[in-house]
Amino acid sequence: MTQNDAFISIQNVNKYFGKFHAINDVSIDIKHGEFFSLLGSSGCGKTTLLRMLAGFENPTSGEIYIDGQPMSGVPPHHRPVNMVFQSYAIFPHLNVRDNIAYGLRKQKLPRAQRDALVDEMLDLIKLPDYGDHKANQLSGGQRQRIALARSLILRPKVLLLDEPLGALDKQLREQMQLELRALQKTVGITFVFVTHDQEEALTLSDRMAVMSNGRDLQVDTPTRLYESPINREVASFIGTMNFFDGRVKALTNGGAEIEAVGLGNLCTSNIPPNLKPGQSVCVAIRPEKLSLSRDAQSGFNQVKGRLDNAAYLGERSHYYVSIEGVSKPVAVSVQNRQRANGNGENQCPVWLSWEDNAFVVLGNG
């Protein structure tokens, strides 16, 4: 087995629920101290994978190693991981202190030392005066922090978090994201974080895996996932993406020249390996990498189109532009520097331009 420097190694794991193939040959390596996210749409198997790490489900085949140890047959209470549940699972019959101290029973610490540890945790999660509160008298955000403290007090090697911020409002969620990230840096524990919120995954993670229908599509850093998705599924899952059909005209030094339908020729170095001249491919570009203007620019890659309509999104707007030969209108993102004033004039002719390397060539067509 290649152990390399992976702290958690998920190797060819499959999971069936009856006939349903919930996890399909997933292999992921997670490094020590990493903030790793699992991103995927609802029902794609994120929770199932996390529960296999925690020991609540057994893989049908494949093996999970944590810190070099194979985990099959190791029950949850003997694994060096702790989990923060989607529902928090705070013990409702205990107060905050007793919730946090729950896992310390086996260590048989003297009372004073135990209390000191709990106080330390209460400070860490910024709830120092809440020790005697009943757990069910707390807000969602407070419960989430207690669930965290309850796990962190045991100094686990890995902390598993199942959509811990899913139930919170946007403001609290952003605040908790910052706190989580800071916390992870302070305590230096490996975090495996499940979310279906792509923005959250992009902001928080060192690396992340995009999952779909029980498979891991791509495991990479947020930047690379966003800038160089390996296929159309990943590209359309994260952010907005415009797709065009094309054909490889020629391979250049470290890049390729593509003839794209409706766009003409374009050059990019964002190409998958094993590209061959003449191969038909799919090229893609993010809305913010296109710029929009009334008049033709000189010296740029550009194409003429017609403004279809616009969507106002607050700090920016998306304009949809039809280009001859391209079936779907192309989305262009424009920062709203000035106060927006309505939808702009529809149907007026516009020019779209882009810089070299703004396009990505996606694998397998």
Partner 1 sequence: MSRHSYIKRPNRPLQFYAALFLVVLYLPVLFLPLFSFNTSIYVKFPLTGFTFQWYVELMDREPVWAALMNSLRVGITTSIISTGFGVFAAKAITRYRLPGKGPLIGFIMLPLVVPGIIFGVALLVLISRLGIQLSLVTVTVGHVIVCLPFAIATMIPRFEGFDPSVEEASADLGENAWWTFWRVTFPMVFPGILASLLLTFTVSFDEFIMAFFLSGTDPTLPMYIWSQLRFPKEFPSILALASIILVVSFALVFLGQWLNRDTQATDLNSE
Ligand X SMILES: Nc1ncnc2c1ncn2[C@@H]1O[C@H](COP(=O)(O)OP(=O)(O)OP(=O)(O)O)[C@@H](O)[C@H]1O
Instruction: Please say which residue, 118 or 161, places its beta carbon nearer to Mg ion.
Output: 161
Binding partner selected for residue 171 from ligand X, Mg ion, partner 1, none, CB under the kind-specific 5 to 8 Å limit: none
Instruction: Please say which residue, 17 or 91, places its beta carbon nearer to ligand X.
Output: 17
CB 341 within 8 A of CB 317: no
Instruction: Please say which residue, 93 or 111, places its beta carbon nearer to partner 1.
Output: 93
**Side by side, which strands form the sheet with 280-285?**
264-268, 255-260, 242-252, 280-285, 360-362
Exactly one of 9, 47, 99, 184 binds Mg ion (CB under 5 A); that residue is 47
Binding partner selected for residue 48 from partner 1, Mg ion, ligand X, none, CB under the kind-specific 5 to 8 Å limit: ligand X
Q: Map tokens 């490996």 to a residue.
A: 190
CB 45 within 8 A of CB 194: no
Q: Is 111 in the site for partner 1 (CB under 8 A)?
A: no
What part of residues 68-107 is at the interface with partner 1 (CB under 8 A)?
75-77, 81-83, 85-87, 89-93, 102-103, 105-106
Binding partner selected for residue 237 from Mg ion, ligand X, partner 1, none, CB under the kind-specific 5 to 8 Å limit: none
CA 70 to chain centre: 27
Rg (CA), the chain: 25
Stretch in the footprint of ligand X (CB under 6 A) among 4-12, 14-22, 231-239, 296-304: 14-22
Site string for ligand X, 30-59 (x = CB under 6 A): ----------x-xxxxxxx-----------
Min separation Cβ 162 and Mg ion, Å: 6
CB 63 within 8 A of CB 71: yes
Size of the site for ligand X (CB under 6 A): 12
How many Å apart are CA 208 and CA 225, to the nearest integer? 8
Min separation Cβ 232 and ligand X, Å: 21
- How many C-beta atoms surround the C-beta of residue 255 within 10 A? 17
CB 121 within 8 A of CB 146: no
Binding partner selected for residue 44 from partner 1, ligand X, Mg ion, none, CB under the kind-specific 5 to 8 Å limit: ligand X
In three-state secondary structure terms, 297 is coil
- As a residue count, the chain comes to 365
Instruction: Please say which residue, 8 or 23, places its beta carbon nearer to ligand X.
Output: 23
Q: What ranges make up the beta strands (E) of the chain? A: 6-17, 20-31, 35-40, 61-66, 69-70, 81-84, 158-162, 190-195, 207-212, 215-220, 242-252, 255-260, 264-268, 280-285, 291-293, 301-312, 316-322, 330-335, 349-354, 360-362
How many Å apart are CA 319 and CA 300, to the nearest integer? 20
What part of residues 116-155 is at the interface with partner 1 (CB under 8 A)?
136, 147, 150-151, 154
Binding partner selected for residue 93 from partner 1, ligand X, Mg ion, none, CB under the kind-specific 5 to 8 Å limit: partner 1
| Residue ranges binding partner 1 (CB under 8 A) | 54-56, 75-77, 81-83, 85-87, 89-93, 102-103, 105-106, 136, 147, 150-151, 154
| Residue ranges binding ligand X (CB under 6 A) | 17, 20, 22, 40, 42-48, 196
| Residue ranges binding Mg ion (CB under 5 A) | 47
